[in-house]
Amino acid sequence: MTLPTHLTLELVTPDHAVAHEEVDEVEIPGADGYFGVLPGHTPLLAMLSAGVLSYRKGPDRAYVSVAFGFAEVQPDRVTILAQVAERAEEVDVARAEAARKRAEARMQDATANVDFERARIALLRSLVRLQAAERARMRR
């Protein structure tokens, strides 16, 4: 049996397709930590955490902020079903920074009737978006 030389990466959210590309490597934020996938990887199904997914095509690396969902890995294919995903270059940094500040303020206001878990997830998502944008900016 011949091992594949590339992976087909398909990344989708309930709203739209984010990526459908032939890639050399994928790094995925799993619920138990980040894991890498190369062509020929053993099949697996993993839960996603909020984090920065990255993939490499030759020398070029791309970054996508993802939050929650599932990853299905096959020897020649990686399918990501994420609740939320946004390419790093599409992140509105000012908006993500404002969301971070709002979430932090909600979490610090002990007197308000705040859904703490919802504020924590909002904070996590904004931090991941900012991290993805920063990684993309640094690579240029």
Where is the domain boundary, 50, 67, 88? Answer: 88
Q: What domain range is 135 assigned to?
A: 89-139
3-class state of residue 38 by DSSP = coil
pTM attached to this predicted model: 0.84
Domain match, 25 and 58 both: yes
The pLDDT tens digits for 67-122 are 999 999 999 999 999 999 999 998 888 898 888 888 888 878 766 676 777 778 88
- Residue 124, pLDDT score: 85
Domain match, 63 and 36 both: yes
Report residue 59 as tokens.
């020398």
The secondary structure element, H or E, covering residue 74 is strand 60-74
Specify the number of domains making up the chain.
Answer: 2
- Residue 59, pLDDT score: 94
CATH of the domain at 27: 2.60.15.10
- Residue 1, pLDDT score: 63
Domain match, 82 and 113 both: no
CATH of the domain at 119: 1.20.5.440
Please, what is the end-to-end C-alpha distance for the chain in angstroms? 39
